[in-house]
Chains A and B, each alone.
Chain A
Amino acid sequence: MAQAETLSHSGICVHDLKEAQEFYCGVLGAEMKGAVNFYTEDTLNGRSVHQAYALGDYLFAVALAPDFMPMPPKDQLRGAMGVRHAFTVAKARFDQMIESLTRAEVPFEGPVDHPENGPFGQSVYFKDPSGNFLEILWRRDEDVTYAPIPDLDVG
């Protein structure tokens, strides 16, 4: 029995909050959860440098990079710049997801087949406009019942 239930959220940096919102909410269908300021001065000025989007059951706390952030090469679609977030969809919907990415003109790599002795089925790899790598996959264990993800509406 593991000693951790879930990862609940990640803080990521982007170059452009509006562009990030259009990608996560507009293209991937994430839900905007609001803008939070940690610093009173920002709060008092009504300034937001931190937005939150719920993508599926995961929360991204998105902050504006205050200065230069390295970008992966433009044509690299599969990678990790340290980390990569992967989201699972039902196997029956996987092709539909690929179609949607194509329609939204999001370049991707894949689908890539995973070994049959592991829990993953097939993945496609892409990135957000700021170069954060993402993955969508279907899983062979989609019918297994695991401990439920705690409902969390906080970042």
Chain B
Amino acid sequence: MALNGAFSHLTIEVTDLDKSEAFYLDVIGLDLLGRDLVAEDRPTSLLAMNTRQRVLLVEVPEVPPYPASGGSIHHAWLLTVKQFAKARDRLEALGYEPAIDPRQSFRAVGEFNMDIHDPDGHRFQIQAFGDEGTEILGSGAGTVACGKIGEFAPGSVTRIAKGRFFLVRNADGFLALSAWCTHKNGITTWQKESWHYYCPFHGAKFDANGVYKGDMGCQPLRLNPVSIDDDGTVLVDTGRFFAREGYSPSQAVPARPGAVFQCGGLRELTVSLERPVSKARE
């Protein structure tokens, strides 16, 4: 059976309808539609977002405490970036301290989050996605010398943290894959045991050549141009990025001195934001 429907509303049990109604109106910023508009045998208040979605508060004598094991239970408001900034000011003005995001280090670039509890302890995440999630992010590392050709075995993937890329040596030569996830600028990791790159932010996977595998419609990981100098040192220019549709052997730079990246047919992307690699991560 396919639901073929859409989310309508979240019913939330509260112990003090007036107090909670004030919280959802003043702190979260919902609109009041009215009291007791729904078939419940207890007092209710119906609140609106700008979309069709609603929040229904139902007054009950007691709200079951969140089980100790229920740490992941939460609900997420999605705001525009502007609304998010306003919400932060509003919360601070009201004396809340919502700015601590317990999962900050797991967020993709441009993902803004705050956590807040309502008067009965229901946990809410307030979330917004900014344009940074689709920017092309420079590392500021310039051209990185990775090592001599012989240091990289065919079939190897080496993470070069300093320039935020993976140096891949496959049967066709060298590729430098930018580690920024093409979904929303999370940072991918190489999982050798599964032979893929994995982005922990929303679970995207890319094969060894950086081509996306899945149904989120992501582009392949972007290429940084590789060149090999006359001494056989592998160099990667982290200031340039190329988009591609898939993998073709011509993207790889042959493993011999003097070989250079051929960008024919690939679209160059302009770095739009600098995100230097912190010293601690190098």
Residues of A within 8 A of B (CB): 1-13, 27-30, 33-38, 40, 43-44, 46, 50, 52, 55-58, 61, 63, 65-70, 80-90, 93, 97, 100-101, 103-104, 112-115, 117-120, 123, 135-137, 139, 141, 144, 146-150, 152-155
Measured CB to CB, the nearest residue on chain B to A110 is: B39
Tally of contacts, chain A with chain B, CB under 8 A = 236
Q: How far is the CA of A2 from the CA of B194 in the complex (A)?
A: 46
Select B6's contact among A4, A28, A34, A57, beta carbons within 8 Å: A57
Tell me how far the C-beta of B24 lies from the nearest C-beta in chain A, rounded to whole angstroms.
9
Tell me how far the C-beta of B107 lies from the nearest C-beta in chain A, rounded to whole angstroms.
10
Tell whether B38 is near chain A: CB-to-CB under 8 Å. Answer: yes
**Chain A residues, Cβ within 8 Å of B29:** 2-4
Which residues of B from 38 to 72 have beta carbons under 8 Å from A? 38-39, 46, 48-56, 58, 60, 63-64, 66-70, 72
Contact assessment for A3 and B33 in the assembled complex, using a CB-CB cutoff below 8 Å: no
Select B73's contact among A1, A11, A38, beta carbons within 8 Å: A11
**Chain B residues, Cβ within 8 Å of A93:** 4-5
Tell whether B267 is near chain A: CB-to-CB under 8 Å. Answer: no
24 A-B residue pairings within 8 Å (CB atoms): A1-B50, A3-B86, A3-B87, A4-B83, A5-B83, A7-B53, A10-B76, A29-B1, A35-B203, A46-B191, A52-B203, A58-B6, A66-B69, A80-B11, A81-B64, A86-B11, A87-B7, A93-B4, A97-B1, A97-B3, A103-B1, A117-B37, A119-B37, A120-B38
A82-B12, A148-B51 known; A87 vs B3 contact (CB < 8 Å): yes
Tell whether B216 is near chain A: CB-to-CB under 8 Å. Answer: yes
Tell me how far the C-beta of B78 lies from the nearest C-beta in chain A, rounded to whole angstroms.
4
Q: How far is the CA of A50 from the CA of B120 in the complex (A)?
A: 26
Contact assessment for A46 and B64 in the assembled complex, using a CB-CB cutoff below 8 Å: no
Measured CB to CB, the nearest residue on chain B to A8 is: B78
Tell me how far the C-beta of A78 lies from the nearest C-beta in chain B, rounded to whole angstroms.
10
Select B69's contact among A28, A67, A81, A103, beta carbons within 8 Å: A67
Q: How far is the CA of A8 from the CA of B6 in the complex (A)?
A: 11
Interface bracket on B? 35 or more
Contact assessment for A9 and B51 in the assembled complex, using a CB-CB cutoff below 8 Å: no
Tell whether B164 is near chain A: CB-to-CB under 8 Å. Answer: no
Residues of B within 8 A of A (CB): 1-13, 28-31, 33-34, 36-39, 46, 48-56, 58, 60, 63-64, 66-70, 72-80, 83, 86-87, 90, 103, 106, 122, 127, 129, 183-184, 189, 191, 193-194, 198, 200-203, 214, 216
A1-B50, A87-B5 known; A150 vs B67 contact (CB < 8 Å): no
Tell me how far the C-beta of B25 lies from the nearest C-beta in chain A, rounded to whole angstroms.
9
Contact assessment for A65 and B50 in the assembled complex, using a CB-CB cutoff below 8 Å: no
**Chain A residues, Cβ within 8 Å of B3:** 28-30, 55-56, 87, 89, 97, 136
Contact assessment for B75 and A83 in the assembled complex, using a CB-CB cutoff below 8 Å: yes
Contact assessment for A154 and B68 in the assembled complex, using a CB-CB cutoff below 8 Å: no
Q: How far is the CA of A117 from the CA of B46 in the complex (A)?
A: 12
Contact assessment for B198 and A82 in the assembled complex, using a CB-CB cutoff below 8 Å: no
**Chain A residues, Cβ within 8 Å of B191:** 43-44, 46
